[in-house]
Amino acid sequence: MIIRRIFAALFAIFFFISAYVLIADIGFGNNKMDDLVGKYYIENTIKDTTALNVVSTVVVNYRGLDTLGEVTVLFVASVSVGVLMARFKGSKLWNVSTTPIHITAGRILFPLIWIFGAYIFVHRHLTPGGWFPGGAVIASGVLLLMLAFKDYLPSSKLITFSESISGSLYVLVGLIGLAIGGYFLYDFVYRTYGIGTIGTLISGGFIPIVYTIIGVKDGVELSGILHHLSRDDTE
Amino acid sequence: MTIDPILLLEIVLTIIMIISAIIAVETKHLVAALAMLGLVSLQASVYFLILQAPDVAMTEASIGAGLSVGIFAYAFWKTGETEEKLENLEEMDKGVLIK
């Protein structure tokens, strides 16, 4: 045992030294914003999209195709959990013991948790947040319900349906941009029709639309993972 | 001499993070290890908030401290992984069961 630990420590030290040697020349802390693409983002975000949050503009607008790939990664992860758990056919939950604290907290907190999760991704162009934490908060609400109420199990058909609908809607928004503006995921809301005032909820072009779609998709997929994991194989 | 309260908070957070990470690795009780894992994520999210990255802090709090702990708990219940099995594994490691 002790020899193995020494080897593990030596490996860790070796790993950190080689990582240090590899990234020592990058020069973190220097100002590299002046001549790179980051300066363009900071200067032109409000002019291009009327969104106040630069990060969300980069994620949805300037680098929208990467976000599509990221959503696909999450979709593949959810599907693979479903494939792994497909042999558990039963619809019964475990005999998880619930307490009055769980039940009361589930009744009172569940709507608030969902509203907070929706707030996170709807207001993404104004406040910090993102589609991933928003969807995770929604899935946490589902987890709270599943822990509090023994018989509750999210509907499998509803999960599959809303997952495919929201995934298709994202591609559809991209295709509408292709039809109107000439390239995939073109911001047709602001750049063609000019909708939106800076600082209000309706601003930022199509950022709130896309964030709502992928936030719902993320929440549904994480709930689907919980659904697959919570099914019992007895009976 | 005045001490910056943020610096004090950072020091306390770092100490708690290191301690709970060590407990998470070393403990035999899987649920305790899980709770310590969630604690590390929670401290990390406060750290991200101090470093002025609220996006990352929010993600870390909801994923690391919220959802992944639940998914891990379901996985433990699913595989039936318990303390006794883990001890058997340790004995197997020492060669007791392979004789």
The answer, for A129 touching chain B at a CB cutoff of 8 Å, is yes
CB A118 within 8 A of CB A215: yes
pLDDT at B17: 93
Residue B37 structural domain: 5-94
Decide if B99 is inside a domain: no
On whether the CB atoms of residues A190 and A196 are closer than 8 A, the answer is: yes
pLDDT at B89: 61
Residue B33 within any structural domain of the chain = yes
Q: Does a structural domain hold residue B81?
A: yes
d(CA A65, CA A71): 10
User: For the segment A101-141, what is each residue's pLDDT rounded down to a tens digit?
Assistant: 888 988 999 999 999 999 998 988 888 888 889 999 999 99
Task: Provide the pLDDT confidence category of residue B98 given band limits of 50, 70 and 90.
Answer: very low
Cβ contacts from A onto B, under 8 A: 47
Helix (H) or strand (E) holding A179: helix A156-181
Query: Which residues on B lie below 8 Å from A96 (Cβ)?
Result: 77
Contact A51, A203 (CB under 8 A): yes
A140: its two tokens: 């946490």
Answer yes or no: do A136 and B67 touch at CB < 8 A.
yes
Residue B82 lies in a domain: yes
| Cα distances (angstroms) measured from residue A153 to each of A14, A84, A144, A156, A215 | 48, 19, 11, 8, 21
Contact with chain A for residue B25, Cβ under 8 A: no
pLDDT digits (tens, 9 = 90+) for A142-196: 988 888 887 777 788 888 899 899 989 999 999 998 998 888 888 888 888 888 8
CB within 8 Å: B62 and A94: no
**CA angle (A76, A80, A83) in 5-degree steps:** 140
Q: What is the ipTM of this complex?
A: 0.74
Is the CB of residue A132 less than 8 Å away from at least one CB of chain B? yes
Which of A85, A175, A193 shows the shortest CA–CA distance to B71? A85
- Cβ-based contacts of A215 with chain B (< 8 Å): none
Contact A222, A80 (CB under 8 A): no
Q: How many domains does chain B have?
A: 1
- Which of A81, A114, A119, A230 has the most B C-beta neighbours within 10 Å, making it the best mutation to test the interface with B? A230
Q: How far does the CA of residue B25 sit from the closest CA of chain A (Å)? A: 13
What pTM, to 2 d.p., does this model score? Answer: 0.79
